[in-house]
């Protein structure tokens, strides 16, 4: 994003309402589409119910048409966007919780190490293979991979990246986040892998979780 993707309304030189345009790429049935997501909708409490967000959404849609986007989408704030003609189409926050003691001990000859920038090309291939089973998915180009690796942030979440090697070759990658306050280890992303590699990854997570401070 650049500054042109951020829309604001000011009152006496104070920003009182904001909205931003998040440019992304989606693949729907193998067809790449330029997509803009509506995000960071916020209005100061004392300025709400004045139609300010509606005015910002008008600008959002004008920019979408002017810049040639194929699709406008939303995520977040349940039902807020209905007033602008949007509806939710698919669940995005599914999760499974597993206690560390539920993960069996597993021995393997696989090697785990931190993700480096040199791993990006192979990880891109693995992600593309994992996404083939989805009719709708995002497209993550090399620039985004490098940005996420440099910042350690995906969306609004900090993460650590790791790779799995067998005989010196990268066979899988995954990303995790640590929630120390709730003593939770979050597996944020993982490439598809076989049964044995997945067991080894779970054992890695178990050991990692035990060592969390």
Kindly give the confidence (pLDDT) of every residue in the chain, 213 residues in length, as a single tens digit, with 9 standing for 90 and above: 788 899 999 999 999 999 999 999 999 999 999 999 999 899 999 999 999 999 999 999 999 999 999 999 998 888 889 999 999 887 777 889 999 999 999 999 999 999 999 999 999 999 999 999 999 999 999 999 999 999 999 877 899 999 999 999 999 999 999 988 888 999 999 999 999 999 999 999 999 998 886
Q: Is residue 110 part of a domain?
A: yes
Of 21, 49, 84, which residue sits at a domain end?
A: 84
CA distance 197 to 115: 17
Distance of alpha carbon 15 from alpha carbon 165, whole angstroms: 50
CA 143 distance to own-chain centroid: 15
The whole-number pLDDT of residue 89 equals 85
Burial class from Cβ neighbours inside 10 Å (0-12, 13-18, 19+) for residue 111 reads middle
Instruction: Indicate the number of domains in the chain.
Output: 2
Q: Is residue 183 part of a domain?
A: yes
Q: What is the pLDDT of residue 213?
A: 62
Do the domain assignments include residue 93? no
Looking at residue 93, its pLDDT comes to 74
**Is position 195 within any domain?**
yes
Same domain, 15 and 60: yes
Residue 95 lies in a domain: no
203: CATH: 3.40.630.30
Q: Is residue 20 part of a domain?
A: yes
Output the pLDDT for position 62: 95
Chain centre to alpha carbon of residue 91: 14
Tokens of 121: 């090309």
3-state secondary structure at position 154: strand
Which domain range does residue 189 map to? 100-210
Helix H or strand E encompassing 130 = helix 120-131
Residue 24 lies in a domain: yes
CA distances from 1 to 52, 58, 183 (A): 22, 19, 33
Look-up of token digits 């960071």: 40
Residues 31 and 68 sit within 8 Å (Cβ to Cβ): no
Phi and psi (nearest 5°) for 207? -65, -40
Query: How many whole angstroms from its chain centre is CA 191?
Result: 14
109 shares its domain with 187: yes
Q: Report pLDDT for 155.
A: 78
Write the DSSP symbol of residue 102.
G
Burial of 161 (0-12, 13-18, 19+ CB in 10 A): buried
- The beta-strand segments (E) located in 12-158 are 14-28, 31-43, 71-74, 111-114, 136-138, 153-154, 157-158
């Amino acid at each position: 994003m650049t500054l042109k993707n951020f829309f604001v309304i000011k009152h006496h030189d104070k920003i009182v309402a904001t909205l931003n345009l998040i440019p992304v790429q989606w693949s729907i049935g193998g067809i790449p589409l330029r997509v803009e997501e509506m995000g960071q909708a916020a209005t100061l409490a004392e300025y709400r119910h004045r139609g300010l967000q509606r005015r910002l959404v008008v600008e959002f849609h004008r920019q979408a048409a002017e810049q040639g986007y194929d699709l406008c989408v939303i995520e977040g704030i349940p039902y807020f966007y209905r007033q602008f003609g949007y509806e939710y189409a698919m669940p995005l926050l599914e999760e499974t919780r597993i206690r560390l003691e539920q993960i069996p001990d597993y021995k393997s000859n696989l090697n785990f190490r931190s993700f480096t920038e040199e791993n990006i090309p192979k990880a891109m291939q693995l992600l593309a293979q994992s996404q083939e089973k989805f009719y709708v998915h995002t497209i993550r180009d090399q620039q985004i991979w490098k940005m996420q690796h440099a910042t350690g942030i995906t969306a609004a979440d900090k993460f650590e990246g790791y790779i799995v090697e067998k005989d010196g070759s990268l066979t899988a990658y995954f990303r995790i986040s640590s929630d120390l306050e709730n003593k939770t280890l979050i597996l944020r992303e993982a490439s598809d892998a076989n049964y044995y590699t997945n067991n080894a990854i779970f054992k890695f997570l178990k050991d990692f979780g035990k060592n969390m401070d």
